[in-house]
Amino acid sequence: MSRAAPRDRRRDRREPPATDASDQEPVDIPRKAARLRIPPGYLVNRLLTLLLTIWIAATLIWIIPRLSPVDPADIMLGRMAAGAGAVQDADRILDQLRESFGLNDPLIVQYVKYLRNIVLFDFGLSTATFPTKVSALIARALPWTLGLMVLSLLITFFIGNLLGALMVWSHSPKLVRIAIPAAMVFTSIPPILSGLLLMWIFAAKLQWFPLAGAYGLTVEPGWDWAFAASVLHHGFLPALSIVIVTFGFWALGMRGMMITVQGEDYVRLAEAKGLRPRTVLYGYMIRNAILPQITAFALKIGLLVAGQVLVERIFAYNGMGKLLYDAILDQDFPVIQGVSYVIILMTALAVFLVDLAYPLIDPRIRHGSDG
Amino acid sequence: MTEPGHPDGGSRIHETAGVPGTTAETVHTGSGRNRGRGGPVDSMTGRPVLTLRELSVDFPTPQGVVQAVRKLSLDVRLGRRVGFVGESGSGKTTTALAIMRMLADPGHVSGGTIDLGGVDMLKLSEEDMRLARLSRVAYIPQGAMNSLNPVMRVEQQLWDAISAHEGRRNRKELMRRSDEALDSVGLHPRTGRLHPHELSGGMKQRVCIALGMILRPELIIADEPTSALDVVTQRQVMQTLREAQALAGSGLILIGHDMGLMAQSVDELAVLRQGELVEYGDIRRILGNPGHPYTRALISSVPLVGGKSFLRPSSAREAPGSRRPAPLLTFDRVSKVYGKLTALHPLSFTLRGDVPKIISIVGQSGSGKSTLGSIVLGFTHPTAGAVRFEGRDLRRAGAAGKLGFRRDVQAVLQDPYACFNPFYRVRHALAYPYRRFGLARDEAHIRQRMEEVCRTVGLDPDLVLPRYPHQLSGGQRQRLIVARALMLSPKLLVADEPVSMVDASLRATILSNIYDLKDRFGISILYITHDLATAYHVSDYVMVLYRGRVVEAGPPGQVIGNPEHPYTRLLVDSIPWPDPDRPWGGSAGPEPAADHAHVADAPFAYRGSVEGFELVTR
């Protein structure tokens, strides 16, 4: 960025003479369209970074389970034995299972196959719910998680940042300024406890909301009002428990940024301009304080799936978190790999999109071709 | 001024009203043309737009109430410019904020009245006060570098100001008015489409002036509007401000601490000290015959080219004349290129260091002088050429060589507020590098050394060492930075604008401290500045940098006392003199500007050499 300014200075000589002669300060007025265009070099650079991130992460996911002494074929056999009482020809079946999972191939072959497969979103078969495809399990769970998590993340982001800002704003009502820090207490409660508490109050005692599931057993999944209402009804408590627990993270981050922004000269000038206090709050203070929060938001998208495993578990919500939880219990490696891969993909994509969009929200950042 | 605390505002009105000023005519035309309110113009001439009576501002603190402003009474009349001058903490800005009713908690007006055009400002409701801001009294805050919202385009920041006072306006009208406002301060209307980071400091300051004027307020308060700008830009911005104010016919309060700038900019001067008005009256009278010793001190603190030196005559022994096997610092065709911009054209010089010298590098912002300093400090690597310190090429030096270089070359930088880690006490800041470089024998030795350097820069060690940086004033901090550099007994000191953020009255002291290092400790100094008057006094040799090239070099008496190159002349002429009769801008003629062809194409002027420093001229 610092290099861009002197460059502009050079082009200045062609500026129209209408500029006041005494003002030797150079101006290069970029056209708006030019500013918003993403340079191809930058895009390629970002895309390569994206692919590299995914590749490294995918490789790690592949290596880590292989460091474990547990043999998935053993586990499957054990499960079969537990179900049937005894298994005949155990060695032959073990061998067949190893063969069908490709565990007998040399590692490099397994790795290349793995890479090819994840590009096609093929994570093989689940060992716990054999022979269901992992991709099918994920496809079933993902919409629920995306719905619940993204919605609650958006709500948390909105509420947390607003409350954080109000904690600092000098025109906030006194009550707000006292109430918010008190509400922060919830942030220190682990999500399991707050979830259980909410369930106990609103589901068990008051019976306003259902205890478990993502939608009612009596409604048919489909794009109709009854189903949507059921989904919202079922999703409310899990979402609320997430919001209560996590808004403090945003509020505290926002509070810190607001304190910095509050002391900026442009906020003081905005006040001296006689702007309405609300205009100053939204257009000058929050607008600037929110910038680092947006980067944090992108990172949170991926982390949320992993972070809210227990919430889904408690509310028996059939999302990615529950899928991951069950898979870990069952040592179902293909599912763990698949879920981890999706989490990484989401995080990397979110960061990529924020990288591209950042110059739109902060004009000081420009797409540099050197990344 | 028999009663400094209670100046008789009323009698002063008569005194100053009698002085015929050119601005009076401007008020007539300006008011008649531009002013919608205010009634018949002729009878309104000289009407006080702001009347302060016995204004007091208190800041209650746990240690007791601090009276930031004490019983201040004065008038500002339409079309007149009043300067508020004084050191930091004298109550200048507090008074301005009290008028705007923007005092930071827990500050409050504890007594007196603020009357703006017949309205008691202290009785207005919050909403009425909001509407009065900008439309009746505009405040241009200090530090215009950050005064604009970085995520909004410039014109949007003018528009929201209009809308906040006049309700929604259609885009066409807003556009027309913002373009007009920018045009009135000499900016191309297209500047409005830019974001603040794309503007230079001078342009941002002009935008702030345009903003202050856009609703044609009766009173404008400009708080040190040019403190961050170099002399040339300062003069241009001040002229813009004066023209805009004269056109609108408003009253102007100019806050500052530079008597030279005041002399060139205002009609009346109010001298404040510790919240009290110690002197108030016509600028010519005050400058010609200052009544209060504090005013005299302020006036004499302005260093003048060709004037009496502010440096104490050196009482120290002769500089240690050690023979060095290799020159201290050598630049061998050193240049620096950023992308397409050449920040520094190939430059070669040798500083022997046998006899310590102070070399000044002067120029405007963007002339490449800070790049040069950064190369000397080893923070920036030259694009081409070699920098040799004591004969060793810095880039080829090993770890031990680099460490030695870090110890031998110390820096005093511009911002005394940002130079200390706020978490550590001063004691730690001074002792840490001393220990790290293995210079300390034991704790008592460190203690003794710290006390020694503190006394050298005129600070009481018992007072400053146990404190945290934020508990010290800017001047104290800047002296501590000199002390910290001194701890390591460096051979070369790079001082990059060491006094530009310090009160004028303290500048001389700090520069004296730096100057003493040369003779007492044999330290050579590279003094980087845009302030030619101080360079004139402290330096042995001056190099004038213009667009990365040395355009004039020689002893200060020659280069600054009698400049040859048109650019140097422009710099010298831009210095505001504390004499209202001396034209600001020097010789008559067309507006001097740094990009005129006669400046850019003028040949290099070599004005002589000094022993121990050789500039290689092609």
Residues B363, B411 within the same domain: yes
> SS3 of B559, please?
helix
- Work out the pLDDT band at B320, boundaries 50, 70, 90: low
Residue B94: inside a domain? yes
Residue B274: inside a domain? yes
Residues B120, B158 within the same domain: yes
Tokens read off for B614: 């050789």
Residue B612: phi, psi to the nearest 5? 95, -5
pLDDT of B322: 61
Residue B563: inside a domain? no
Q: Is the pLDDT of residue B458 over 90?
A: no
Among the three residues B300, B316, B351, which one is the final residue of a domain in this structure? B300
**Residue A225 CB coordination number (10 Å):** 8
Exposed/middle/buried for residue B371 (C-beta within 10 Å: 0-12, 13-18, 19+) = buried
Q: Do B593 and A21 touch (CB under 8 A)?
A: yes
pLDDT of B585: 66
pLDDT of B312: 64
Q: What is the pLDDT of residues A22-41, one digit of tens each?
A: 334 444 444 444 455 677 88
Q: Is the pLDDT of residue B520 over 50?
A: yes
Structural domain total, chain B: 2
Residues B277, B373 within the same domain: no
Residues B214, B82 within the same domain: yes
Would you call A31 an interface residue with chain B, using a CB distance cutoff of 8 Å? no
More reliable by pLDDT, B539 or A91: B539
Residues of A in contact with B595 (CB under 8 A): 24
pLDDT of B160: 92
Decide: B141 and B205 in contact? Cβ < 8 Å.
no
Decide: B517 and B493 in contact? Cβ < 8 Å.
yes
Residues of A in contact with B186 (CB under 8 A): 20, 22-23
Q: Is the pLDDT of residue B589 over 70?
A: no
Q: In 3D, which of B211, B55, B50 has the Cα closest to residue B117? A: B50
Residues B85, B159 within the same domain: yes
Q: Is the pLDDT of residue B161 over 90?
A: yes
pLDDT-wise least confident of A84-88, B225-229, B292-296: A84-88
Residues of B in contact with A16 (CB under 8 A): 188
**Residue B341 CB coordination number (10 Å):** 18
**pLDDT, averaged across chain B:** 83
Q: Is the pLDDT of residue B527 over 70?
A: yes
Can you tell me the mean pLDDT for B247-275? 90
Residues B296, B350 within the same domain: no
Q: What is the pLDDT of residues B221-230, one digit of tens each?
A: 999 888 778 8
| Window 54-93 of A, Cβ < 8 Å to B | none
Q: In 3D, which of B496, B513, B475 has the Cα closest to residue B87? A: B475
Q: Is the pLDDT of residue A193 over 90?
A: no
Residue B549: phi, psi to the nearest 5? -120, 145
The predicted complex's ipTM stands at 0.75
Q: Do B143 and A18 touch (CB under 8 A)?
A: no
More reliable by pLDDT, B99 or A320: B99
* CATH number of the domain residue B150 falls in: 3.40.50.300
Residue B560: inside a domain? no
Would you call B264 an interface residue with chain A, using a CB distance cutoff of 8 Å? no
Tell me A201's DSSP state: I
Q: Is the pLDDT of residue B131 over 70?
A: yes
Q: Is the pLDDT of residue A108 over 70?
A: yes
Strand partners, B387: B331
pLDDT of B138: 94
What proportion of chain A, given as a percentage, has pLDDT over 70? 85
> SS3 of B264, please?
helix
Tell me A199's DSSP state: I
Q: How far is residue A365's CA from residue B150's CA, in Å, rounded to a whole number?
A: 11
Residues B391, B487 within the same domain: yes
Residues B270, B410 within the same domain: no
Q: Are strands B137-140 and B219-223 parallel, antiparallel or unpaired?
A: parallel
Tell me B250's DSSP state: -
Among the three residues B279, B300, B321, which one is the final residue of a domain in this structure? B300
Tokens read off for B394: 């810095």
Tell me A133's DSSP state: B
pLDDT of A190: 75
Can you tell me the mean pLDDT for B586-592? 46
- Work out the pLDDT band at A186, boundaries 50, 70, 90: confident
Among the three residues B300, B316, B340, which one is the final residue of a domain in this structure? B300
pLDDT of A84: 67
Cis peptide before A65 (omega within 30 of 0): no
Residue B23: inside a domain? yes
pLDDT of B202: 82
Residue B307: inside a domain? no
Q: Is the pLDDT of residue B74 over 80?
A: yes
Q: Is the pLDDT of residue B206 over 90?
A: no
- Work out the pLDDT band at B314, boundaries 50, 70, 90: low
pLDDT of B478: 87
Can you tell me the mean pLDDT for B27-42? 37
| Window 249-268 of A, Cβ < 8 Å to B | 264-266, 268
Residues B291, B378 within the same domain: no
Decide: B443 and B435 in contact? Cβ < 8 Å.
no
Tokens read off for B454: 């503190």
Alpha helices in B67-220 (DSSP H): 92-100, 126-135, 154-166, 171-184, 201-213
Can you tell me the mean pLDDT for B389-400? 85
The residues near A215 (Cβ < 8 Å, ≥ 6 apart) are A221, A227, A230, A231, A234
> SS3 of A83, please?
helix
Would you call A11 an interface residue with chain B, using a CB distance cutoff of 8 Å? no
Q: Is the pLDDT of residue B34 over 50?
A: no
Interface test with A, best of B160, B243, B571, B573 (most A CBs within 10 A): B160
- Work out the pLDDT band at B595, boundaries 50, 70, 90: low
Q: Which residue is closest to B192 within chain A, CA to CA?
A: A29
**Residue B363 CB coordination number (10 Å):** 29
pLDDT-wise least confident of A61-65, A296-300, B307-311: B307-311
Q: Which residue is closest to A24 within chain B, CA to CA?
A: B595
Q: Do A20 and B161 touch (CB under 8 A)?
A: no
Q: Do B200 and A7 touch (CB under 8 A)?
A: no
Q: How far is residue A75's CA from residue A53's CA, in Å, rounded to a whole number?
A: 32
pLDDT-wise least confident of A212-226, B23-37, B68-82, B197-211: B23-37
Residue B99: inside a domain? yes
Residue B559: inside a domain? no
> SS3 of B138, please?
strand
> SS3 of B42, please?
helix
- Work out the pLDDT band at B18, boundaries 50, 70, 90: very low
DSSP string computed for B454-497: HHHTT--HHHHTTS-GGGS-HHHHHHHHHHHHHHT--SEEEEES
Q: Are strands B605-606 and B549-554 parallel, antiparallel or unpaired?
A: parallel
- Work out the pLDDT band at B584, boundaries 50, 70, 90: confident
Residues B243, B367 within the same domain: no
Residues B150, B232 within the same domain: yes
> SS3 of B51, please?
strand
| Window 305-344 of B, Cβ < 8 Å to A | 338-341, 343
Q: Which residue is closest to B152 within chain A, CA to CA?
A: A363
Which residue range is the domain that position B417 belongs to? 329-549+607-615
Cis peptide before B106 (omega within 30 of 0): yes
pLDDT of B592: 53
Q: Amino acid identity of B253?
A: I
Residues of A in contact with B591 (CB under 8 A): 21-22
Q: What is the pLDDT of residues B143-159, one digit of tens each?
A: 667 889 999 999 999 99
Q: Are strands B48-61 and B108-116 parallel, antiparallel or unpaired?
A: antiparallel
Q: Is the pLDDT of residue B593 over 70?
A: no
Residues B295, B342 within the same domain: no
The residues near B137 (Cβ < 8 Å, ≥ 6 apart) are B50, B99, B100, B116, B217, B218, B219, B220, B221
Q: Is the pLDDT of residue A225 over 90?
A: no
Q: What is the pLDDT of residues B473-503, one digit of tens each?
A: 888 888 899 899 989 989 999 998 888 777 7
- Work out the pLDDT band at B335, boundaries 50, 70, 90: very high
What proportion of chain A, given as a percentage, has pLDDT over 90? 11
Q: In what order do the strands lie in the sheet with B81-85?
A: B137-140, B219-223, B251-256, B81-85, B268-273, B276-282
Decide: B493 and B525 in contact? Cβ < 8 Å.
yes
pLDDT-wise least confident of A16-20, B64-68, B304-308, B406-410: A16-20
Tell me B145's DSSP state: G
Would you call B227 an interface residue with chain A, using a CB distance cutoff of 8 Å? no
**Domains of chain A: residue spans and CATH:** 142-330 (1.10.3720.10)
Q: Do A274 and B148 touch (CB under 8 A)?
A: no
Residue B8: phi, psi to the nearest 5? -85, 95
Q: What is the pLDDT of residues A287-335, one digit of tens each?
A: 999 988 988 888 887 677 666 777 788 888 888 888 888 888 887 878 8
Number of cross-chain residue pairs from A and B with Cβ atoms under 8 Å apart: 142
Tell me B191's DSSP state: G
- Work out the pLDDT band at B44, boundaries 50, 70, 90: very low
Would you call A174 an interface residue with chain B, using a CB distance cutoff of 8 Å? no
Strand partners, B59: B66
> SS3 of B70, please?
strand
